[in-house]
Structures are given as structure tokens and as C-alpha cells.
Amino acid sequence: MAVEKGRYCVTGAGGFLASWVVKLLLSKDSIIHGTLRDPSNDKHAHLKKLDKASENLKLFKADLLDYESLHTAIQGCDGVFHVASPVPYDPVELIEPAVKGTLNVLKACLEAKVKRVVFVSSAASLVMNPKWSQGQVLNETCWSDKEYCRSTKNWYCLSKTEAEYEALEYARINGLDLVTVCPTLIMGPILQSTVNASTLVLIKLLKGVYAFGSMLISMTLDPEGYESLENKLRMIVDVRDVAEAVIMVYEKPEAEGRYICTAHNIKTTDLVEELKSIYPNYSYPKNFVEVEEQPRLSSEKLQRLGLSFRPLKETLTGSVESYKEAGLL
């Protein structure tokens, strides 16, 4: 199912990843229906500047919890890329849009008789499980434990796990062709001018405020002026590679089920050293706290489908240079 000259809906079109999906689809002469909660907001101005956007990009005002608005945007499309996802930390704000919103999208897809739906989930739907051992390599059969997510109040992981599980069940019961992609920490150049959650991880690292777990928090400075930082494993993937993966699993007839999308496993100390070698003049941390080894993820299934990944250095330079251009650094 080649995407050239087709008509596709991309939900949450103004987001970090979704903007790249729109850009790639436009480059293939496709017509795009992009959904946004507020198309008139200046933060989405970058979409109108993309090549071929003036003739091939149509923006729709839509909300994940408003079925009719999604139905209007999806009607007439060959396929749908469901990328929109809420990221606040209030569990009510997070879980309902993620689960009910995704089911609304799938219901509209079923009614519109689209050929295939690609749903961007997250590695968060795989990693949160007390059964996983240190250093275990996880594949697409692995799921986060929903009760464990609740008991540890990890609402982001819970929302991603519930949304993806419910989506696959809905598709199975209703005969909808659905493929899911589960990326890890997405970095790389931004097209939008605003900061998103995954971009903040790197910006705050460069600026001296650091990410712990799934929350971004500022820690008390020690006498040297540096914070202690958990030396955890970072599983990084380039936004351009994820966008290519999302389109690849739509196009390849043999694509099915879930696909983990991750490229580089790197400890935080090594990530800091890599950044220092390219950009020596930022305030990097000196103190690290060792943590237990975490499970790792394998993209073998996606690579067998034909995807290859950019080098980490290309991702880091692409990230930082785009942040500078956007005035974020």
C-alpha cells in the first residue's frame, strides 16, 4: 500500500513526531487531513510552511473526545496515522483522552472504511512490569502491568498501556487493520517552535535541570553547582526514523501487530560525554547516582521489515541545532 498520492489523516498534526509524519507524507504527493484542537493557534504555523502544504494539507479542528469532529476529518481517507496523545500528569486528563480518544479514532476509521490504521503507542506500554529482570531484552509480546502502573502512580505508562491494548482488542473484534508502533525516547530536530516532553529531556540536560523517570524535575544544586543525575539507561530513537517507521508499517502489506522502535541504548554518563564532545560549552552534570540495570528493548522485528537507524551523533546534532534555531537554547 504505497502512500504516494493517497489521502491520509494524521491526528495531532502539530506535534513533534506528527509534524514529521505530515512532512514525509507531503513529500510523497499525498493529501493530508491534519487534526488539531485549535488550527488557528500560532504554534501550528510551521505546518503551513512545509513543502506542498499550501496545496495538499488541510487542517481540521478536532478533539479526541469529540467523535463527530474526528469522523469529519477521517472521512474519505485511505489510511489514518493516529499520533495525537495527551501528556499532562493529571491521571484523569491523561487516561480518558488516551483510551476513549483512541477508540473514537478507530470507530471513525471503521466507519470510513480506511485501508489501515497506524497507532503510535509508546515503549511505556512494555517496560513497567515488576516481572522483568535486570537487563532482560523485551520484545513485542511484553506488556506493562496495569496494576503495577496504578500502584506506582505512573499514569503515563498506564494510559499508553490501556490505550494500545484496547485499540488492538477493538481492531481484532471489528476486523480493522491496525498496526502499532512503540517508540522509546524520541529525539532529533524539531519542526515546531514549542517544546514537547521528550525534547525537554535533552534541553533540561543541557541547561542543568534533569529528567528522573517519566517526570522532569529540578533538583537542589550541590556546592559545585551541579546536580546528581541518575545514571540510567536511555533508549533513544530519531524522530525522522520513527516517522519513516510509521509510514513503513502502513505501506508494507506484511506488517502486523506491534513494532518496538528504538535505536540506541546509552547510559546517561555516556550520553553526557557524547554531548560534551560535540558541544563542550554547556553546564553538564558531574555527579551521577548508579541505578539498577533496566530491561532493554529490541527493534529486531522492525529492522526485519526494512528499517535502519541514523547514528546517535546525527540525532544529537540535529536536536541541538534545531533548538538553537527555535531560540530554545
Give the cell for residue 17. 513526531
DSSP string, 45-103: HHHHTSTTHHHHEEEEE--TT-HHHHHHHHTT-SEEEE------S-HHHHHHHHHHHHH
Checking DSSP bridges between strand 233-238 and strand 185-187, what pairing results, if any? Answer: parallel
Please report which helix (H) or strand (E) contains residue 205, including its range. helix 197-207
Q: Which three cell numbers stand for residue 247?
A: 509510514
Beta strands in the chain (DSSP E): 7-11, 31-36, 57-61, 79-82, 116-120, 137-138, 178-183, 185-187, 210-212, 215-217, 228-230, 233-238, 257-261, 264-267, 287-289, 296-297
Residue numbers of the chain with a pLDDT score lower than 50: 210-226
User: What's the pLDDT at 73?
Assistant: 98
Q: Which residue has the cell 546534532?
A: 317
* pLDDT score of 112: 97
The pLDDT of residue 283 is 83
Identity at 9, one-letter amino acid code: C
Q: Which three cell numbers stand for residue 309?
A: 537507524
Q: Distance between CA 156 and CA 107 in Å, rounded?
A: 23
Cell representation of residue 129: 512490569
Burial of 130 (0-12, 13-18, 19+ CB in 10 A): exposed
Catalytic residue among 23, 49, 160, 252: 160
Helix, strand, coil percentages (3-state) for the chain, rounded to 5, are: 40, 20, 40
pTM, entire model: 0.92
d(CA 11, CA 63): 9
Q: What domains can you pick out in the chain, each with its CATH number?
A: 7-186+236-263+294-309 (3.40.50.720)
- In whole angstroms, give the CA distance from residue 317 to residue 113: 41
CB of 5 within 8 A of CB of 28? yes
Query: What does the CA dihedral 89, 95, 100, 106 come to, rounded to 10 degrees?
Result: 80
160 is catalytic: yes
Q: Tell me, what's the pLDDT at 221? A: 35
Tell how far CA 293 is from the center of its chain.
24
CA–CA separation, 284 vs 276, rounded Å?
8
